[in-house]
């Protein structure tokens, strides 16, 4: 089976973002999965020290960067709070246990460290309609099967590179990030889907009605949470659901900040759920 790494046309947007960063001399950047190494090279040009990891490090072609083996389903070979930037370019959708992965990202990042995530979007208008019709993010293909859910395997090992088997919506991703100590700093526009623009315009009134109904009905059920905390959180989800960046873009491109470590995040979650006891 031939290995085809991601990074496609989304990388142009990522490269522009990396180029906009200040000089990174003395900063440590982790690139996982590094794939062919394009993100590693872009960060290296900014002066950063690069740690590149991949399930298949032999596919790295970045000049001056040595890729190391790492499985995103296992603990990363990095010390606690040793990393300034971590980029996961088209990688998280290939991993089943995203909570554990994001906790590992949190563990290795310094406080206020930056996590850069990109993945294909199943929350744009085209993908939403396609999921309704065939439970696939693209209506010209079926839902994932064993025929296309493994992109690469080897006869000599049990290593598997899964395909888009574990895609998540923006709402799901936002919750996962919050549960693991990250907050969204930026949501960056990527390539626009012309089909999503047409469908999004047509469906937007329904999206508004549905989002507002769910907000007003659901906030009445979460009575154990103070309204000053509950309502802003739920309203953020309404805004996310109606965001043109979400509805029209082909990819999710988020820049996140580590705002709390695991202990601090657990304390916050215990406070939120105490009323359920």
- Do both 144 and 51 map to the same domain? yes
Rounded mean pLDDT for each run of 10 residues along the chain, 277 residues in total: 50 95 98 96 97 94 94 96 97 95 98 97 96 89 85 76 89 97 96 96 97 93 87 96 96 97 93 69
| Per-residue pLDDT at 275 | 57
What is the CATH classification number for the domain harbouring 61? 3.40.50.150
- Do both 100 and 200 map to the same domain? no
Residue 40 lies in a domain: yes
- Do both 117 and 169 map to the same domain? yes
Structure tokens belonging to residue 69: 């083996």
| Per-residue pLDDT at 1 | 30
Structure tokens belonging to residue 84: 């300034």
Residue 274 lies in a domain: no
Residue 273 lies in a domain: no
Of 106, 109, 88, 95, the closest CA to residue 179 belongs to 106
Angle CA 43–32–37, to nearest 5: 50
- Do both 145 and 26 map to the same domain? yes
Residue 60 lies in a domain: yes
- Do both 160 and 188 map to the same domain? yes
pLDDT in tens, 45-78: 999 999 999 998 999 999 999 999 999 999 999 9
Residue 1 lies in a domain: no
- Do both 47 and 172 map to the same domain? yes
Distance of alpha carbon 16 from alpha carbon 133, whole angstroms:
35
- Do both 239 and 204 map to the same domain? yes
Burial class (CB in 10 A: 0-12, 13-18, 19+), 140: exposed
Q: Please, which residues have CB within 8 angstroms of residue 188's CB and are 6 or more apart in sequence?
A: 13, 17, 245, 253, 254, 255
| Per-residue pLDDT at 94 | 92
| Per-residue pLDDT at 2 | 33
Residue 260 lies in a domain: yes
Q: Are 165 and 149 in contact (CB under 8 A)?
A: yes
Residue 170 lies in a domain: yes
What is the three-class DSSP state of 168? coil
- Do both 36 and 172 map to the same domain? yes
Residue 125 lies in a domain: yes
| Per-residue pLDDT at 276 | 55
pTM comes to 0.91
- Do both 82 and 211 map to the same domain? no
What range defines the domain where residue 221 resides? 194-248
What is the three-class DSSP state of 52? strand
How many domains, in total, are found in the chain? Answer: 2
| Per-residue pLDDT at 8 | 56
- Do both 157 and 225 map to the same domain? no
- Do both 36 and 59 map to the same domain? yes
- Do both 198 and 135 map to the same domain? no
Distance of alpha carbon 98 from alpha carbon 92, whole angstroms:
7
């Amino acid at each position: 089976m031939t290995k085809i790494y991601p990074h496609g046309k989304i990388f142009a947007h990522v490269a522009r973002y990396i180029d906009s960063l200040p000089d990174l001399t003395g900063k440590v950047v982790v690139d996982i999965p590094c794939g062919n190494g394009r993100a590693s090279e872009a960060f290296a040009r900014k002066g950063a020290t690069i740690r590149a990891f991949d399930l298949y490090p032999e596919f790295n072609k970045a000049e001056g960067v040595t890729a190391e083996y790492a499985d995103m389903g296992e603990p990363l070979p990095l010390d606690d709070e040793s990393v300034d930037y971590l980029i996961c370019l088209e990688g998280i959708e290939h991993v089943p246990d995203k909570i554990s992965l994001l906790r590992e990202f949190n563990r290795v990042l310094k406080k206020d460290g930056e996590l850069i995530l990109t993945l294909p979007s199943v929350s744009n208008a085209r993908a939403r309609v396609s999921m309704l019709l065939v439970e696939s993010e693209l209506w010209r293909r079926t839902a994932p099967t064993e025929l296309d859910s493994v992109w690469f395997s080897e006869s000599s090992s049990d290593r598997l590179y899964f395909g888009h088997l574990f895609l998540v919506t923006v709402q799901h991703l936002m919750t996962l990030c919050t549960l693991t100590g990250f907050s969204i700093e930026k949501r960056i526009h990527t390539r626009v889907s012309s089909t999503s623009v047409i469908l999004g315009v047509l469906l937007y009134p329904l999206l508004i009605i549905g989002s507002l109904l769910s907000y007003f009905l659901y906030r009445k059920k979460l009575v154990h949470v103070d309204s000053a905390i509950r309502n802003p959180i739920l309203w953020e989800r309404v805004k996310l659901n109606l965001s043109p960046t979400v509805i029209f873009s082909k990819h999710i491109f988020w820049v996140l900040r580590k705002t709390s470590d695991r202990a601090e995040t657990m304390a916050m979650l215990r406070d939120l759920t105490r009323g359920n006891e």
